[in-house]
Amino acid sequence: MRVPMRVLILGGTAEASAIAGALSGDARFAPVLSLAGRTRAPQTPPIPWRVGGFGGAEGLAAHLRQEGIAALIDATHPFAARMKANAARAAAMAGVPRVAVLRPGWTRQDGDCWTEVADMAAAFAALGPAPRRVFLSIGRRDLAAFGPPHTYLIRSVDPPDALPANARAIAARGPFAEDDERALLAGHRIEVLVTKNAGGAATAGKLAAARRLRLPVVMVARPPPPEPPVVSDAAGALDWLAHQSGPPCPGIVARGV
């Protein structure tokens, strides 16, 4: 019987959870899911997991060697640029094969009124000088860029530690349905939505709702993509992993001596 292949999955995303679910119970692999520890009550994964940073690319490379990791799947969020760069560098240092998962970004559709900006400071500037009622759907760690004269509704998985002036926070974890998003935007008389271009279906409902309500959207562009190889979803990562683990062992065939 072959020794299971040790696989480290860098997570914090739906794709990482899907990969963990697919590998759970597969005797060919011994997977571990790594979380940064940003979410206060993460959903419990079905495989062994660890929490916290590694100490940069060097720390991650040391971890890969110490733990005998044979394959690294970087399934961090499209905006987790530092971790993505560290994963590529650490894998090269430790000589461990690595793949990055990057889901496709959202693209503008007919009826969308998007202003695309490079970062949070530009997103705030794009709101203009007149006071607006703004829905901030950017997580809870980039709020410092936003302030007067606008009024904000902020949604994040955990409540923010500090709020801008004139802000109200709601804590909620997706997925979010389009109808619920429309009701939220209309109920709070939102005039403009600010979001990161995270991509994916789970949080796309707000974009469809904004389209229906003819609301402008300020869309923060993604950081540069990670180094190849890059796949677009969990299935692509599992295919890549199957290639790393090689063909199945041949069965023992009685030769009839």
Report the Cα 177 to chain-centroid distance in Å: 19
What Å distances lie between residue 114 and 94, 104, 118, 126, 140, CA to CA? 42, 17, 13, 11, 22
Beta-sheet strands, E only, within 75-150: 98-101, 113-117, 133-137
Report the Cα 141 to chain-centroid distance in Å: 14
Among 6, 28, 38, 89, binds ligand NAP (CB under 6 A): 38
Burial class (CB in 10 A: 0-12, 13-18, 19+), 49: middle
Stretch that binds ligand NAP, among 76-84, 125-133, 177-185, 240-248 (CB under 6 A): 76-84
Least distance (Å) between residue 201 CB and ligand NAP: 15
| Cβ atoms of 24 and 44 closer than 8 Å | no
**Site for ligand NAP contains 225 (CB under 6 A):** no
Binding mask 130-169 for ligand NAP (x = CB under 6 A): ---------x------------------------------
Least distance (Å) between residue 53 CB and ligand NAP: 2
What does residue 155 show for φ and ψ, rounded to 5 degrees?
Answer: -120, 130
**Site for ligand NAP contains 56 (CB under 6 A):** yes
Among 45, 47, 77, 137, binds ligand NAP (CB under 6 A): 77
Instruction: Please report, as a single letter, which amino acid is at residue 176.
Output: F
HSE-CB at 43 with a 13 A cutoff on CA atoms is 14
Six token digits for residue 199:
């991509």
Stretch that binds ligand NAP, among 19-27, 47-55, 92-100, 203-211 (CB under 6 A): 47-55
Rounded to an integer, what distance in angstroms lies between the CA atom of residue 214 and that of residue 217?
Answer: 9
**Site for ligand NAP contains 81 (CB under 6 A):** yes
**Site for ligand NAP contains 21 (CB under 6 A):** no
Pairing of strands 98-101, 216-220: unpaired
**Site for ligand NAP contains 94 (CB under 6 A):** no
Least distance (Å) between residue 227 CB and ligand NAP: 14
Instruction: Please report, as a single letter, which amino acid is at residue 253.
Output: V
Least distance (Å) between residue 61 CB and ligand NAP: 11
Among 64, 72, 83, 209, binds ligand NAP (CB under 6 A): 83
**Site for ligand NAP contains 188 (CB under 6 A):** no
Among 8, 23, 73, 76, binds ligand NAP (CB under 6 A): 76
HSE-CB at 54 with a 13 A cutoff on CA atoms is 23
Least distance (Å) between residue 19 CB and ligand NAP: 12
Name the site residues for ligand NAP (rule: CB under 6 A).
10-13, 34-36, 38, 53-56, 59-60, 76-77, 79-83, 86, 139, 196
